[in-house]
Structure 1
């Protein structure tokens, strides 16, 4: 997130600095700035934030910080709440597996198969190369690969949480005021 924020900051400063009115003495500075092409920065930042959001959701499932609505679960008796929680976790598994599979098919059809065949020296025949992104000019299957990768990771995390809940009855819980490593640092001081 820091790299994306820094990149956008540099791109915005560049845009304003290149458009500023300079005295004749500083005209070479403006010429230099106009020669820099940062048009790709916004597209890269969009891809970076999408990847962060998708993998951040998987992290949230693992650590109990992913958004969940448990009002009904809390109102039920423990036995019924347990089954409803398992059904909800199973719904997360199914949903992320479906999204991951649909994403994998999309990435495959969007040019990954051409890249894979070319890498291994296989005959690509009539297999299309796939589109490229407008500013970065990278194959679009690369940024879109976060959909199946992160969705399958999230599915795996739902399975982990569901297994732990089935065996021990525990869901991951995030303490808002807890900072990992802080207790160890205080003990060492």
Structure 2
């Protein structure tokens, strides 16, 4: 069964703090925007037009942050009925094999995330089908694409000169909400490598949560018997 994650080293602690703070901020912002919009709608027959789109963006960010966070705390579900029949050495080998495939997937995910986001930031996507073999400087930029309703903050106006050739944005450019794609992909790859390393060094014997539901049911049943 996976062990509880404890951050180690300055990099690990920094990433750990960044993830948990980001998740807390996202949850708080979503709750606040939703609450304010409900009050405005039912109390004042009004609403914040762009709040729904912002909440959707924040939810997407939360989900992608959550994937990386799940790898960190070994909270992802998996089927271990077969691997539990193996002896410890073979179980470790199976976990490392699964980890190698997961790292391969995470690398492809990072490439795809960069290729999706880069044109919106006026940056070149990569070439190559599976792994990056170079940069495609001939790819058409999409930095002029905007969100539907999210207003452009004044403090982000510098992006107009950086990526939009001086053209003014009327709404928030899509490169901002899409920025979570490469960020989350890097975090996922980092956390997967950490999880595989923990298996390699013997700190954990799995990258997934194991029998957590069964243990929770047993604990609840024992509590009820004790109270009864």
Q: CA deviation at 1:69?
A: 2.7
Larger Rg over CA atoms:
1
* Contact preservation (8 Å) 1:100, 1:152: yes
* Contact preservation (8 Å) 1:111, 1:130: no
After TM superposition, the structure 1 = structure 2 runs for residues 122-141 of structure 1, keeping only pairs within 5 Å, are: 127-136=141-150, 137-141=171-175
TM-superposition CA deviations, 1:137-172 (whole Å, max 9, x none) = 211121111122111211111111111211225247
Q: Classify 1:74/1:103 alpha carbon distance in 2 versus 1 (closer, same or farther; 3 Å).
A: same
Structure (1 or 2) with the greater helix fraction? 1
How many residues align structurally?
Answer: 150
Q: CA deviation at 1:110?
A: 2.1
Counterpart selection for 1:168 from 192, 202, 223: 202
Q: CA deviation at 1:128?
A: 4.5
Structure 1 vs Structure 2 CA RMSD: 2.5
TM-superposition CA deviations, 1:55-77 (whole Å, max 9, x none) = 12211111111233322221222
The residue number in structure 2 matching 1:56 is 66
* Contact preservation (8 Å) 2:50, 2:149: yes
Runs of 4+ in 1 over 6 A off after TM superposition: 172-177
How far apart are the structure 1 equivalents of 2:85 and 2:122?
47
**Is the aligned partner of 1:10 residue 2:20?**
no
Task: Point out where structure 1 has 5 or more consecutive residues left out of the alignment.
Answer: 20-33, 115-125, 178-189
Task: Point out where structure 2 has 5 or more consecutive residues left out of the alignment.
Answer: 1-26, 125-139, 151-170, 217-228
Structure (1 or 2) with the greater strand fraction? 2
Q: CA deviation at 1:3?
A: 2.2
